[in-house]
Structure formats: C-alpha cells, structure tokens
Amino acid sequence: MSSLAPSVLTLTLGMFFILMGQFKVTPRYFPDVYEDMKQEFGRNNKVFPFYQLTGWRPYAKNYRLTVGIVEIVCGITLVLVPGRLKQLANIVLLILMLGAIYTHYALNDKFDRMAPGIICSLLLFTRLLILRHSGHSNLIKIDKSIEDQQELSDRKKNN
C-alpha cells in the first residue's frame, strides 16, 4: 500500500483488534469490560454458528479465549508483519466480525449491539478493496510499461 490512508486504516484496525482481544483474554487492565465479555460469551455460546452443522458447542470460556487470541494475533499481524500475511489476518478478522453479526442477530439483539461488528466488517472489507484496487492499478501500470517498451523497441527496429 503506497498511500497514507490505507496504512493508517491498517494500523488503526490492528490496534483496535489488539485492544478488543485483550478485553476477552485478561482482566488485568479493564476488569469491568472483561467481566462483561465473560457474560456476553455465555450468551453467545448458545447460538454458536456451527452447532447445527456439527452438534458441538465450545465452552464459553474457550470460545471467548479463542476469539480474543485470534483478534490479538491478527491485530499484531496487521500492525507489525509486512506482506501477504496482513491480507490473511484481514480475512480472518472479517470472518470473525461476520460471525459476531450473525451471533447478535441470532440472539435477537438490537441494532446497537450489532453496529460495532457491522462497522468493523465494513472497514475490513474496505481495506481489502483498497488493497485490491491498488494492486490492480499497479498491474495495469506494469502492463502499460511493458507495452510502451515493446512499442519503442518496434520503432527502433523499423528505423
């Protein structure tokens, strides 16, 4: 990513998910938020997305810890790791956020409970679109450059 905006978006999303994951994993810094997360995942566990498919439902604690650790690892990847791993982290976080939206919908929560997941999903999707567009435009520039070089070479041959 060559411009400032996508880089800022990537860093902001990474830091956000590190913080959100930390809320789920440890009570050390924000004990009240951690307790809320514990209760929330007790509710979330009841509508685990793959229960109907597999007949298996994780323990609420393991579910919360897994989601938190995945958010932290993907957030760190967005902030610190260069290259294609950022895209993988982005996709994993997008899937998590879609799962969060589904969970709140299945629990018949109000829109204000779904809004953070929707907003994060849109930001993650936007990041992927920006990256894809910038990668696509770079390919177009490379193709144009190759065509220009071939045309210049052809002109030299004809002269």
Domain count, the chain: 1
Grade residue 135 by pLDDT with cuts at 50, 70 and 90: low
User: Minimal CA–CA distance to 67: which of 46, 104, 95, 86?
Assistant: 95
**85-89: average pLDDT:** 95
Averaged confidence pLDDT in the chain: 87
Q: How far apart are CA 99 and CA 155, in angstroms?
A: 58
Task: In whole angstroms, give the CA distance from residue 44 to residue 96.
Answer: 13
Calculate mean pLDDT across residues 54-66: 93
Is residue 85 scored above 80 in pLDDT? Answer: yes
- Total Cβ atoms within 10 A of residue 70: 18
Structural domain range at position 79: 4-158
- Is residue 155's pLDDT more than 50? yes
DSSP state letters, 28-71: SS-HHHHHHHHHHHHHHGGG-TTHHHHS----HHHHHHHHHHHH
